[in-house]
Amino acid sequence: MNDNSQIIIIGAGQAATSAANSLRQNGFTGGIKIFGNENLAPYQRPPLSKAYMLGDTNVERLQFRSLEQWQGDDIEILPDTEIVKINAKEKFISDIDGNFHNYDKLIIATGSRVRKLNIAGSNLENIFYLKTLKDSDAIKGHMVAGKRIAIIGAGYIGLEAAAIARKFGLEVHVLELAPRVLARVASPELSGFFERLHTERGVHIHTNVQVAGFEGDDKLNAVLLGDGTKIECDVALVGIGILPNDELAKDAGLVCENGINTNSFAQTSDPDIYACGDCANREMGDKRMRIESVHNAIEQGKIAAAHIMGAPMPKLESPWFWSDQYEIKLQIVGLWNDATQSIVRGDMTQNKFAIYHLDSENHVLAVDAINSPPDFLVGKQLVFNKTALAPEIISDIAIPAKEFLKNIV
């Protein structure tokens, strides 16, 4: 790579920001262009269902940098410019206005889009999804005491929105197809905790329900369930998962299976094209995973930049995630799915505890920390090192979590 090299990034979000920053930090002196199809500089999404929706922060603070600050770093951001095609053979991309842009290396960081619900009445007014700043603003406009909101899908975004809606004094119904909340992403113990928490705060949680349709004249006034029950409401927020934005990559002939396949260097099947963030299906050990989190987007951006520059690989961390609901801060590290035992440390009724997920040989695979940063930070190291820890030690709160690290060699 030299002064004349051109790196193009498609998508102007979390992964793009990380890749561009790391390219400069690794000494890249050529041109960097980031194309984004939203009308502002790259911004953080997590606050859209947390502090921003609550009104505790503003657009300036959501954006990593203003457009002017980006120019100062000699990184060209082109907002409002959708990329419509990648020509991998001749190494250029085309934007929606018909312009071509050549690249030496291309990074695809197009993120994901919401999965839509296509059922009767889904075109009615006041049915929302939550992905962008615009979406968050639109929903916030309905956060008015006395209104009724139906939240379809009890994932993290749905539950965070439920907590905010309660804070603003709305009547809240959460409608979930699975038998428990957070079914796709959390352990049964953690689901149980959040179900109790939201119920205590006045949220009506309905699990095992199928949403069959929306009713209303122009505007929504009810959600219809599969068993014929009607949930009257003024607004609906649908949060039923996301789909990777991998169409450009597929069209260009890159290998995609549930996202754009990448190797451990964030490279796609074309060695000059990288993919990072929500759109990538990354190689992790002997499996592939598509991870939807800030940490994953940042880490992959750094990996791609380091590989392009021939710099040392960044230190990898176990996947982690957080969520804020009411006064509860949840921090999760690792993946609990393969665990055979879940050990609670602390008192669940005091809203301050942790759940350690172990395999059959007591190796720590994941830790869920609820208002308990020590368990999260210790858990990060335990999970990374796959440390074995006896269940009776974990549940003994007389032993400080710090002691757990003594077993790491």
Partner 1 sequence: MTEITFIEHNGKEHKVDAAGGGSVMEAAVKNNIPGIDADCGGACACATCHVYVDEKWLDKINPMGSMEESMLDFAENVQPNSRLSCQIVVNEDLEGLVVTIPESQG
Q: Name the site residues for partner 1 (rule: CB under 8 A).
A: 21, 24-25, 44, 46-47, 50-51, 61, 64-66, 69, 73, 294-295, 298, 320, 322, 324, 329, 331, 373-374, 376-378, 401-402
Member of 101, 105, 106, 111 binding ligand FAD (CB under 6 A): 111
| CA atoms 34, 110, 14, 280: torsion sign | negative
Tokens for 409?
A: 């060699």
* 73 binds, options ligand FAD, partner 1, none, Cβ within 5 to 8 A by partner type: partner 1
Of the pair 47, 155, the CB lying nearest partner 1 is at 47
Binding at 65: pick from ligand FAD, partner 1, none (beta carbon under 5-8 Å per type): partner 1
Q: How far apart are CA 406 and CA 196, in angstroms?
A: 35
Select from ligand FAD, partner 1, none the partner in contact with residue 219, using the beta carbon and a kind-dependent cut-off of 5 to 8 Å. none
Structural tokens at position 241: 């998962």
What are the residue ranges of helices labelled H in 141-187?
156-167
Query: Element (H or E) spanning 107, and its range?
Result: strand 105-108
- Give the Cα separation of 343 and 171 in Å (integer): 35
14 in contact with ligand FAD (CB under 6 A)? yes
Of 332, 190, 245, the C-alpha closest to 38 is 245
Q: How far is the CB of 274 from partner 1 (least distance, A)?
A: 19
362 three-state secondary structure: coil
Helix (H, G, I), strand (E, B) or coil at 301: helix
The 3-class SS string of 168-193 reads CCCEEEEECCCCCCCCCCCCHHHHHH
Residue 245: contacted member of ligand FAD, partner 1, none (CB under 5 to 8 Å, by partner type): ligand FAD
Residue 117 identity:
L
First CA to last CA distance, the chain: 39
What is d(CA 15, CA 21) in angstroms, rounded to the nearest whole number? 10
Binding string, 120-159, against ligand FAD, x = CB under 6 A? ----------xx-------------------------x--
111 or 153: CB nearest ligand FAD: 111
Strand 148-152 to strand 92-95: parallel, antiparallel, or no bridges (unpaired)?
unpaired
Query: Is residue 372 classed exposed, middle or buried when 0-12, 13-18 and 19+ CB atoms within 10 A define those classes?
Result: buried
Is-contact 216 232, C-beta < 8 A?
no
Closest approach, Cβ 304 to ligand FAD, in A, equals: 12
Pattern 247-286, ligand FAD, x by CB under 6 A: -x----------------------------xxx-------
Q: How far is the CB of 21 from ligand FAD (least distance, A)?
A: 13
Cβ neighbours of 282 (radius 10 Å)? 24
**What is the closest distance, in whole angstroms, from the C-beta atom of residue 244 to ligand FAD in the complex?**
9
Q: Is 352 in the site for ligand FAD (CB under 6 A)?
A: no
Among 32, 77, 83, 181, the residue binding ligand FAD under the rule CB under 6 A is 83
Instruction: Quote the CA–CA distance of 177 and 155 in Å, as a whole number.
Output: 11
Shortest CB 271 distance to ligand FAD, Å: 21
Q: Least distance from C-beta 358 to ligand FAD, angstroms?
A: 24
The residue within the footprint of ligand FAD, chosen from 21, 22, 63, 245 (CB under 6 A), is 245
**Whose CB is nearest to ligand FAD?**
13
Cβ atoms of 213 and 227 within 8 Å: the answer is no
**CB-wise, 121 or 277, nearer to ligand FAD?**
277
Q: Which residues bind ligand FAD (CB under 6 A)?
A: 10-16, 35-38, 45-46, 48-49, 82-83, 109-111, 130-131, 157, 245, 248, 277-279, 292-295, 297, 321-323
